[in-house]
Structure 1
Amino acid sequence: MLIDLNELSPNRTYFTMIQTLIPRPVAWVLSDNGDDSLNLAPFSYFSGVCSDPPLIMLSIGKKPGGEIKDTRRNILERGHFVVHIAHREMMEGVTASSAPLIHGDSELERSGLATTEFGDFALPRLSDCRVAYACELYEHHEIGAQAVIYGRVRQIYISDDIAVENEGRLQVDAKALDPIARLGGDDYGLLGEVVTIKRPR
């Protein structure tokens, strides 16, 4: 099968890409609505970009009616956000937080998830997530219907239960983190076998 993307609508292109570019990590993003409430939403067009400066990237689309999503609005207006790496037990909560709501209707309040202070960062983090990134807006680009947000990572929370020091380097136990990944449609992937192959020096 050879698919010419020039012959597909943007919607069909999207569904073709998300079913083949797999697995994708899920950024569960907490942002500030600006009215003493917090927004929480998942995005799977997400990756690390650079380590100097430390940057992550989110690609955020629009709501079904064409309005920009609350996460994008909040990041552009207030300049900070927290990205969480959710684990297996949180899949239902991640999915529930993807529902389109009116601006200011807090997914966090609906979920009942607890938060805790994130060092001296302006926003809290989800208490039960094993990894969280405290981010500040670095750059923003509009590409087609998407907004590409670059976030500068200021702090990283890693649960002591999943990390150890090994020969002077931090080593995170991927199986203990147990992250979820997005596949196509309504499907998630879970971490299975971990294969270690030494890289050439």
Structure 2
Amino acid sequence: MFLDFTKLDPREAYGWMADSITPRPIAWVSTISPEGRTNLAPFSFFNGITGNPPTLMFSAVNLRDGTKKDTVRNIEATGQFVVNLVSHALAEKMNACAALLPYGESEFDAFGIAQAVSERVKPPRVAEAPVSFECTLHTILPIGEGAGAANVVFGRIVAAHVTDGVLGVDGEIDPALLDTVGRLGGDNYATTRDRFDLRRPDRPVKF
């Protein structure tokens, strides 16, 4: 099958991308409006960028009417946000936050999600998240215009909260304990429970 993406409808192109670029980690992003109203929304076009300086990104596709999502509006106004990772135990609550609520209505309150105070930024974090990254805005890069277009948010990580329960005996994160989920196509998700190891060829073998 050959797909000419220059001729595909944007929604069709998005569908092929979402179904094939898998699994995708999920950024459960918490923000706050200038008036102090919290927001919590999931985004699966998300990843780390670099450790120098520590930076991550996520992409927020515009609403169907072409307007920006509440998350982007809040970050533009405050310059701060928190990226919470999603464990399998939190998957249903994360999914509930994909619902479109009126601007200013808090997903924390609507779906009974416990929040915790952040240390370096104003938006709260998800209290039960295995890892939360407190971020300040680096830049927002708009890609395209109108419905289906997106705003790519780059954030500087200024602090992180790592639950002790996901740390192994060596003090590092144990993937089995982290138990994060990834987005597949449609309504499908995957866990990180099925894993295998491959040693990079440029790393020395431990004896």
Fold match (TM-score > 0.5): yes
Is 1:198 the counterpart of 2:199? The answer is: yes
Decide whether the 8 Å contact of 1:28 with 1:86 is kept in 2. yes
Q: What is the alpha-carbon distance in structure 2 between the residues aligned to residue 59 and residue 165 of structure 1?
A: 35
* Structure 1 match to 2:175: 174
Decide whether the 8 Å contact of 1:138 with 1:151 is kept in 2. yes
Matched to 2:42, the amino acid is: P
SS in 2 for 1:184: coil
* Within-5 A mapping of 1:144-159: 144=144, 145-159=149-163
SS in 1 for 2:164: coil
Of 170-179 and 6-15, the range deviating more from structure 2? 170-179
* Structure 2 match to 1:16: 16
Q: What is the alpha-carbon distance in structure 2 between the residues aligned to residue 60 and residue 16 of structure 1?
A: 17
Decide whether the 8 Å contact of 2:26 with 2:86 is kept in 1. yes
TM-score (structure 2 length as normaliser): 0.91
Q: Tell me by how many angstroms 1:5 deviates.
A: 0.9
Q: Tell me by how many angstroms 1:89 deviates.
A: 1.5
Q: What is the alpha-carbon distance in structure 1 between the residues aligned to residue 8 and residue 126 of structure 2?
A: 39
Q: Tell me by how many angstroms 1:165 deviates.
A: 6.7
* Structure 1 match to 2:31: 31
Q: Tell me by how many angstroms 1:186 deviates.
A: 1.1
* Structure 2 match to 1:118: 118
Q: What is the alpha-carbon distance in structure 2 between the residues aligned to residue 180 and residue 106 of structure 1?
A: 23
Question: Deviation digits for residues 48-85 of structure 1, max 9, x if unmatched?
Answer: 11111111011111112222100000001100000000
Question: Deviation digits for residues 141-187 of structure 1, max 9, x if unmatched?
Answer: 11111111100000011111112473xxx521111111011011111
Count of residues paired in the alignment: 198
Q: Tell me by how many angstroms 1:33 deviates.
A: 2.1
Is 1:41 the counterpart of 2:41? The answer is: yes
TM-score (structure 1 length as normaliser): 0.94
| Runs of 5+ consecutive residues of structure 2 not aligned to the other structure | none
Percent identical pairs in the alignment equals 34
Q: What is the alpha-carbon distance in structure 2 between the residues aligned to residue 105 and residue 67 of structure 1?
A: 17
Question: Deviation digits for residues 1-39 of structure 1, max 9, x if unmatched?
Answer: 121112211110000000000000000000002222200
Q: What is the alpha-carbon distance in structure 2 between the residues aligned to residue 64 and residue 97 of structure 1?
A: 17
Q: What is the alpha-carbon distance in structure 1 between the residues aligned to residue 150 and residue 66 of structure 2?
A: 11
Q: Tell me by how many angstroms 1:120 deviates.
A: 4.1
Q: What is the alpha-carbon distance in structure 1 between the residues aligned to residue 107 and residue 194 of structure 2?
A: 33
SS in 2 for 1:161: helix
> Larger % of strand: which?
1
Q: What is the alpha-carbon distance in structure 2 between the residues aligned to residue 60 and residue 139 of structure 1?
A: 13
Is 1:162 the counterpart of 2:166? The answer is: yes
